[in-house]
Every structure is written in structure tokens, then in C-alpha cells.
Amino acid sequence: MSRRAITLLVAGFLVLALGIAGAWLDVPYVVLSPGPTENTIGEVDKKPVISIQDRQTYPTTGALSLVTVSYQGGPRARPDLLTALRGWVDPTSAVVPEESIFPRTQTAEEVEQENTAEMTSSQDNATAAALTELKIDYSMVPAVLSVEKTAPAAGVLKPSDEIRTVDGKPITSVDQVSAGVKARKPGDEIVFGVTRDGRQLDVTVKSIASKQGTAMVGIVMHAKYKFPFKVSISVGDVGGPSAGMMFALGIIDKLTPGALTGGKSVAGTGTITPDGKVGGIGGIAQKMVGAKDSGATIFLTPADNCAEAVKAAPDGLRLVKAETLHGAVQALDAIRSGKGVVPSCSAG
């Protein structure tokens, strides 16, 4: 064999070896794909997704399904190049930079904790929004959801502490607690007026600097609602706030006679505020594929996601625009009765 042939053979072998090795290299991307759907008026593991105690409920039919996005990747388990390439060519998947899901300012554990907190908050907000829509009274106080083990607040503030004041200023919302802390400088002592086990007391926490340079004490807050009856929501290992609207619709359906869907299979997504505003979410394309695969024919779409949804909607899936919970209920009423205007998504 000539020297030239040997050189070409060796070079070809090296290129192949490098290509194979490179294909198995981890890459800083996350592959998004359609996740499971759950019917909020149905059951998971033979248990109702939504359980309501001490209040009359009504049987219903059809489906009001929440949709999810599954992901491969993250700082602790990055995908290899081949997995990322398969995601790029799969029309039902999306490949996004790792930092869009796991910001560099947060650890993977912090992201998971935040998703869990957001899911808890989403369920409470959904109950509040449903009761607001049905004109059922309830009350709310900002409270501590969790305390970081190594944070200044550890051992001083406790989960379930209801925050009445920050540095003497009355508090009525979670945002006011956050604003009150951030208004101080790192190192300042912050006095929290709290209600704990029925007792009112003042506790002092010395703040530290967050990664953004603002004051922090290391607590996660949530709105602690006091409802006139108990609403429990269980969907297993699902995190984040994007199922809020569908939870609220499921609660309304159970608390009112008849089937809100008219027996149809409806899916949807969107965050919810206690006063019923529907917010945009991520992964809309993957969620619509999951909805279609689950048998849904109608997809309740946050107004902020409409333009993107129109471009990626699977055939046979009707996109209904939802700006508020009240609007979503009205749209379902119009679809069920065949009367009234049903708002639809447009590309503009």
C-alpha cells in the first residue's frame, strides 16, 4: 500500500473516531418534548385529581386536561450530541440552551424547589380564582412556605408563619414582603411581624446579599388562603405554574351542575392569578402535540401564546383564546350551547 493511501486511511480513521467521540460528548442544551396530560376532572392512580370536601359537588363528563412538557438535560444530566441532534430534527421537539431552563444564577436544586413552590402556589391561586368566579368569599394572608437551611432566616422564621408587617409596615400580599426586603441593603436587620400558632410576635433577621446583589433572608413565600371548604389537588410529579387555569376550570366544573365541556375533550394551559387573569407559558408547541395525542379537540390558549400557537398547531385542534378565567368559562359555554362568540387565536 502506498504512503498516500496509508495517510488517507489513517486520516479517515481519525475523522471517524473523532466523530464518534464527539457524538457522545455532553452538550449544554435541553431537549423539550410533549409530556403527559392529566384530566383535572378525572383520576390519577384511582384518586380524583381534584377533591372537594364539605361542599356539594356535581358529576361531570368530558375532559379538562392540563398538558405538560418533558425535558432531557440539565446541569446534572446533560444530553449527548446525538440526542440533541435527534431533537433538532424531530418536529414535535425543541432544543433550547440549558440556561433558558436552568439559569446560571440558580442551581438545579433551586430550580426544582421553585417549580414545586410554583405548583403549590398555582393550585392555591386556581382555587381562589374559581371561588372568585363563583362569587364565593375567602380570605388570604402572605405566609412562609419554606426556609433555606443555611439562610439567615433559618431558625428564626418558620414555615406557615403569617407575615403581618415588614419593618412595621402592614403587609397584605407576597409581593409586598419581597419589596420590603429588597428595599433594604444587604447586611441590614429586618423586623418581621408574624402570626405563629395563633400568637403574634416580632422576629429580626439580618439580611445578606443575593446573587443579584439585593437584600435577601432566604425564605420562599406564598399566599396562604383561608377557604370556606377544603380543595385538594393531586397530579403527581408535575411542577410549575402553567396548569393554573385548567385547575380552576376543573374546580368550577365540580362545583356547578352539568358538564362545563358538554362532554367534549378539552385541553389547555396558562397560569392564573387569584382574580382570574390567564398568563402565558413556555413550550406551547409541545403542549399542543400532547393535547392532540390525548384526544383533545379544543385547546384553551393563553392570549400571550396565540401567535406562536397558530404557527405550530396540529391539524384538528381548535385554538380558543383565553385572557381570563371568566372568558374561558364563557367560551366553553358558547361551544357547549352553540350560541355566542368563541374567541379564537390569530397569528397577529
Task: Give residue 169's identity as a one-letter amino acid code.
Answer: K
Kindly name the residue from 264, 287, 292, 321 that is annotated as catalytic: 287
Residue keyed to cell 418536529 = 91
Known catalytic membership, residue 339: no
Q: How far is CA 200 from CA 67, 97, 110, 165, 192, in A?
A: 42, 47, 31, 11, 11
224 is catalytic: no
Residue 304 CA to residue 281 CA, distance in Å, equals 8
Task: List the catalytic residue out of 93, 122, 207, 242.
Answer: 242
The answer to whether the CB of 184 falls within 8 A of the CB of 214 is no
Number of CB atoms found within 10 A of residue 302's CB? 25
First to last CA, the chain: 66
Long-range contacts of 312-316 (CB under 8 A, 24+ apart): 312/284, 312/285, 312/288, 313/288, 314/288, 314/289, 316/292
Instruction: For 214-225, give one letter per residue: b (16+ CB within 10 A) or e.
Output: ebbbbbbbbbbb
Instruction: Give the residue numbers marked as catalytic.
Output: 242, 287
